[in-house]
Amino acid sequence: MKQNFYNYLQNKALVKAEHLAQLTELVSVKEFKKDAFLLSPGQICERALFVEKGLVRLYSIGQDGKEHIVQFAPENWFIGDRESIYFRQPSTYYMDAIEDSTVILFDQHFVETASEISPEFRMYNEYLLQNHIRQLQNRINLLIGSSAEKRYLEFIRLYPDLTLRVPQWMIASYLGITPESLSRVRKELAKRNFKPL
C-alpha cells in the first residue's frame, strides 16, 4: 500500500534504490473513511501525510461559522499543518477525508533521516519547501487582488481533476467566494466555450 509513495520518492525526489527500503520502513499506512477527521483544532499535528489514494482537505472555521479551505490533497500530494508539526503548536485547522483515503504518515524524524542518508531527498525537500512558499504567496495574491474567474481558472490549473470530485460549495470556500458567484463564473466560462484541460 505504499506504491505511490515509493514511486514518488524514486521518481520525483530521486532517492536511490538502496535507500528506499530504509526510508519506507520509517512511515506508516492508515486508511480513513469518507468524512473521518484526521486533525482537529487544539491537537498537535504529529505527522504530515502523503495521499496514496483518495482526497483530503485542510480547513479552518471562521468566527462567522464559515469553512475556509486552505488546501486539497488528492493522490500524490502532501498535506499537514506545518506550523503545528515544526513548532509543536496546537493546530488551528481541521483535516478530514473527502473520500475514502489511504495515507502515508511520516514525522520530522523521517525527514531528518531521509535528508541525512539521501542528498537527493534533501535537495528535493528544499525545493518542495520553496515551492510551497511560492504557492502560498500566489494564493494570497489571488485572494486579495484577483477576480473570481481568475481564481477559478487557477484552481483548475492547480487541481485539474477536482472539479468532478469536490462539491461546488467546497471549491467556492477554497476560492473565498460564494457558491452563487462560482456558479456565475462557470456559466460565463461555459458561454465562452471554455473547457478545462
Run of H or E including 87: helix 82-87
- Residue that is written with C-alpha cell 488528492 in the block: 74
pLDDT digits (tens, 9 = 90+) for 119-137: 999 999 999 999 999 999 9
Average pLDDT on 76-100 reads 97
Question: Given a cut of 70, is residue 161 above it in pLDDT?
Answer: yes
| Whole-number pLDDT of residue 2 | 87
Question: Given a cut of 70, is residue 138 above it in pLDDT?
Answer: yes
Average pLDDT on 62-87 reads 96
Report which DSSP code applies to 91.
P
Question: Given a cut of 90, is residue 21 above it in pLDDT?
Answer: no
Percentage of residues in the chain having pLDDT higher than 90: 93
Q: Give SS3 for 127.
A: helix
Looking at every residue in the chain, the average pLDDT score rounds to 95
Question: Given a cut of 70, is residue 9 above it in pLDDT?
Answer: yes
Q: For 165, how many CA atoms within 13 A lie in the half-sphere containing its CB?
A: 18
What band does 193 get if pLDDT is binned at 50, 70 and 90?
A: confident
- Output the pTM of the full model: 0.93
| Whole-number pLDDT of residue 1 | 64
- CB-CB neighbours of 146 under 10 Å: 16
Percentage of residues in the chain having pLDDT higher than 70: 98
Average pLDDT on 59-74 reads 96
Report which DSSP code applies to 164.
G
Average pLDDT on 162-170 reads 96
User: Are 185 and 159 contacting, i.e. CB atoms less than 8 angstroms apart?
Assistant: no
Question: Given a cut of 70, is residue 16 above it in pLDDT?
Answer: yes
Residues facing 116 on adjacent strands:
none
User: Are 148 and 187 contacting, i.e. CB atoms less than 8 angstroms apart?
Assistant: no
| Whole-number pLDDT of residue 196 | 63
